[in-house]
Structure 1
Amino acid sequence: MSNSQRGCEYELDPPEPNCLTEEDLDEDGVWCCPHDARAGENLCIFHKSKSKKESEEVTRAVLKAINDSPIKSDQSNGYRGTEFIGAKFGQLELSDQNIKSQSTIDFRCAVFHDELSAEEAVFEGPVDFGGASFYSRVNFNGSSFESDVCFSNSKFRDLAQFKSISARHHVDFTDVVFDDAVLFRGSVFQEPVDFSGSEFNHTVSGNFMESEFECGLVFERVNVRGDFGFERAKFNSDVSLRMTRFNSSVAFEEMKINGNLNLDGAEFKDHIYFTNKSPYSYEEISDAVGEVQISGEVTPSHRRNYKYPYERVLFSHASDNE
């Protein structure tokens, strides 16, 4: 791929793990920016360093590129105006925007130095934040994703809020690192959600409180270092916590699963909270599947002062909750 005379000279040699595909790269194995450089300069507004541009101007440029893109899926092939791969952002404000583009809004490997706010935004086409780094707060509260959304291999260094979002298609949070609190409270996921291989490094209660998963949840090989909560979450299909390690307390209070719960190889280092309304209170714990190692204690929330110690619990068969 060669740039035009006014083309941005930015090239990305894909990092490891690689979030790009061979189709994204030229014959030299690098990604080349499709945007025009600024007048008299060699980089576009998206790839100039944060200190050399105004956040408001960048936001306007992002929205213009998106608004100029095709809104019909059969016209989006080959359009590259919504590629912001490797971009460097200060504050980016997308709140209340209705983004109709059917081209993928592509923020792979981008760096967000300041807050990304997309509260109450609507994304009608695919969105890809694979491999992105967020060094400040992220706010997607109340947003709607009408197509696939991907955050695979991204890193969140500050608070990440996804409260009350609506996701109609596949959601990919595989191999993500959350160094601060992350909240999905009250969100609705209509297609599969995958958090496999991710890390949650901060304590916060009610991460998935009152969220609803129509097609279940894959939460395998996850490392959870702080308190975690699925209180009153509803799962209308299978849930897998295989090989996941909970290093602190985890709450399943009044959680409902209309499918199988797979805890094969999961490890609980501290308290597990249930209630007598939960399908998995400690009296009914054999309704789950797999073998779980618990080195802490199980404390049903309706009898919090009573500690029921487990060192090793065998879950013998799949649940059949209706």
Structure 2
Amino acid sequence: MDAGTGGRCAYVHDSADSEWSCPHDAVTGRDVCAFHLPPSEYDAVGLTDADVSERLLACVRDDTQRHNEFVGAHFGTLDARNVTVESDHAYPVRLTDVTVDGDLRIDSANVVAELIFDGSTVHGQVCLDGTRFVTDVSFVDCTFGGIVSASTTKFEGGVVFARATFEDAAAFDAGATFLEDAVFTDTDFGGPAQFRGALFENRVFFRGAHFTADADFAGSVVEAIATFEAAAFDGETSFRNSRFAGPVKFGGRTDTATTFADAPDFRRVTAEESLDFTEVTFADGVDFADAGFEADVDFTDAEIYGEVVLDQASCGEQFRFAPADADLDTYVSCDRTTIRGGVLHQPREGRLLFDFRQGRLGDVDAQGTPANDAIDFLRFVNTTFDGFDFTTYRPRLEPDYRIHRFDVATDVAPVDLTAREEELTYMKAKAGADRIGDGRCQSGFFVREMRARGQRARDRRKDAGGPREWLRATLTHSYNRAFDWTCEYAEDPHRLVGVMFGVILAYAGLFWAGFRAAGTTLEQGSTTPDAVMHAPVALDYILLSGEAFTTIVYYPAAVLPSWQVRLIAVSESLVGVLLSALFLFTLTRAVHR
């Protein structure tokens, strides 16, 4: 600092590309102006913080361009509360590389002039509450030692905090509004960052921002693009109840991907356009409960460690969940979740266990290595299938078609389903297979549904409140078991053919026993004693049984000598009619499947 000449401030500011000299008049008896005079010398020249603040506002109102420049100024407390900061010309107010030892107060003000605070340091608090910034304001490379508060502040022009450092809390909440671009690129938030309820009507950039403490964006609204690439969230992070009307980008290449050290809270978030989490690291899980994704959501090559919650979330037709790495058993909770389409891909390292309960699954492709093994990591309970293609996974589903359990060894607790819940699960799976025309899977799920229905009847029998209810449940269970045993609920004609031959052989034995009891044989209706002593011809009785099985037989008394034998014939005819009808029904279903 050289000695002043002609009453002009002697302060000269050297920068990398230029040299700036102060245009203001020096204080009497000093070489520098009031703006470059150290606050510790104010008393000596009869100045106060209020005097200096008033002089600055007067210079801003001056119609001389250079009087708006305060480069390298040094203030105690800079106070512009409840005033209108405006200039008689369009040039910005330059407060670059300024040092404020105390507080910076621009609250409840109306700032019409453009403000540039680039490179400045404020050791105290910064209060912008309730202020209206009509045009641009810039805080590039600034350092804030105290709390920065901008509650209910309205930024009508662009606002830039790029590469700024907030050593304490930064509060842009309680209705802070950004009408133009808001730039927080490479900003370091050392204390809690609060954007709760903030409104961004244009683009917002947090690329490379570092949130050392908690970050709260709950209830915020972004009407355009939101960028969080390469951001680092070290504390608790909340986007609960936020709405993104434009594309949101958290991911990118490895050097630009975002990291969450704690589980971020995206509950009840609404994303109207694409949401990009490619290569993002979730170190402790993530919560998307009740979220609404109307467009693409991409988790390609993300790293996910900890539980993922998608309960009651609604996902669009391009939900791509394909992380690169996960824990050995990363649990993905999908309670009442809707995924209309997309990909669920197993990671290269670790496993994802998707647990769908009472949700809806559309045209979703579960992928793994090999591809059809991916179904082993999905569990479905009472889930509606609306386009999910079971055909790909049929080799893993056969023969039991069980989907209400994970088909891999895991520490995840099994679901203890009631018989009714299991019946509904496979009823909906059957309907889903029918929608895509997969008859074999439809058949397998129908068998599971019917067996669960039989178990339900058995449970009702145990809990029967009286003999009538017990009898009804017993008959229902018996019919169900018989239907399963004979033809697997009309899904297995081969089994029914075997049952039919078995019935014919069994009745052949009954005929033989009946004839012996009557003292006769089947040979020409003979009643000679010698015939009784000799063993019957087995084929004759098998043929008689077959005839009785396939026709309504009217035999003379000489052939069927006793009422017991006639009763055997009538009963076999009745059984034959029923089993033959069942065979035709089962065969028709098999052809249809």
Provide the TM-score with structure 2 as the length reference: 0.46
Structure 1 residue 268 and structure 2 residue 268: aligned? Answer: no
Q: How does 1:25-44 map to 2 (within 5 A)?
A: 25=18, 30-44=19-33
Deviates more, 1:135-144 or 1:93-102: 93-102
Q: How does 1:1-322 map to 2 (within 5 A)?
A: 5-14=6-15, 22=17, 25=18, 30-53=19-42, 54-69=48-63, 79-101=65-87, 102-185=90-173, 186-203=175-192, 207-264=194-251, 265-275=257-267, 277-279=268-270, 287-299=275-287, 308=307, 313=323
Q: CA deviation at 1:297?
A: 2.4
Q: CA deviation at 1:258?
A: 0.5
Q: CA deviation at 1:313?
A: 4.3
SS at match of 1:274: coil
User: How many Å separate the matches in 2 of 1:301 and 1:90?
Assistant: 49
List structure 1 runs of 4+ shifted beyond 4 angstroms: none
Q: CA deviation at 1:203?
A: 2.9
User: How many Å separate the matches in 1 of 2:78 and 2:142?
Assistant: 17
AA partner of residue 72 (structure 2): G
AA partner of residue 278 (structure 1): V
User: How many Å separate the matches in 1 of 2:289 and 2:72?
Assistant: 47
> Are residues 227 and 259 of structure 1, via their aligned partners in 2, closer, same or farther at CA, if it must alter by over 3 Å?
same
Q: CA deviation at 1:9?
A: 0.5
SS at match of 2:279: strand
- Is the Cα–Cα contact under 8 Å of residues 249 and 276 in structure 2 kept in the other structure? yes
Provide, for residues 251-307 of structure 1, a one-character-per-residue CA deviation record: whole Å limited to 9, x for no partner.
0101100011101111111121122x3226xxx9x95342211112224578xxxx7
AA partner of residue 201 (structure 2): E
AA partner of residue 262 (structure 2): D
Q: CA deviation at 1:159?
A: 0.4
- Is the Cα–Cα contact under 8 Å of residues 294 and 313 in structure 1 kept in the other structure? no
User: How many Å separate the matches in 2 of 1:218 and 1:289?
Assistant: 16
- Is the Cα–Cα contact under 8 Å of residues 213 and 236 in structure 2 kept in the other structure? yes
AA partner of residue 98 (structure 1): T
SS at match of 2:278: strand
Q: CA deviation at 1:143?
A: 0.8
- Is the Cα–Cα contact under 8 Å of residues 293 and 313 in structure 1 kept in the other structure? no
Q: CA deviation at 1:69?
A: 3.1
User: How many Å separate the matches in 1 of 2:95 and 2:156?
Assistant: 20
Q: Note the residue ranges of structure 1 that are not aligned, 5 or more in a row.
A: 71-78, 318-322
Comparing both chains, which one has the higher relative contact order based on Cα–Cα distances under 8 Å and sequence gaps of 6 or more? 1
User: How many Å separate the matches in 1 of 2:284 and 2:236?
Assistant: 9
User: How many Å separate the matches in 1 of 2:105 and 2:164?
Assistant: 19
> Are residues 313 and 166 of structure 1, via their aligned partners in 2, closer, same or farther at CA, if it must alter by over 3 Å?
farther
Q: CA deviation at 1:38?
A: 1.4
Q: Aligned pair count?
A: 285
User: How many Å separate the matches in 2 of 1:113 and 1:301?
Assistant: 46
- Kindly report the root-mean-square deviation, in angstroms, between the aligned alpha carbons of the 2 structures: 2.5
Q: CA deviation at 1:216?
A: 2.1
User: How many Å separate the matches in 2 of 1:31 and 1:287?
Assistant: 46
AA partner of residue 167 (structure 2): D
Q: Indicate the residue corresponding to 1:73 in structure 2.
A: none
% identity of equivalent residues: 23
- The structure having more radius of gyration, on CA atoms, is 2
Q: Which has the higher helix share?
A: 2
AA partner of residue 68 (structure 2): T
Q: Indicate the residue corresponding to 2:314 in structure 1.
A: none
SS at match of 2:281: strand
Q: CA deviation at 1:60?
A: 1.6
User: How many Å separate the matches in 2 of 1:287 and 1:150?
Assistant: 29
Q: CA deviation at 1:116?
A: 1.1
> Are residues 121 and 309 of structure 1, via their aligned partners in 2, closer, same or farther at CA, if it must alter by over 3 Å?
same
User: How many Å separate the matches in 1 of 2:158 and 2:9?
Assistant: 33
Provide the TM-score with structure 1 as the length reference: 0.82
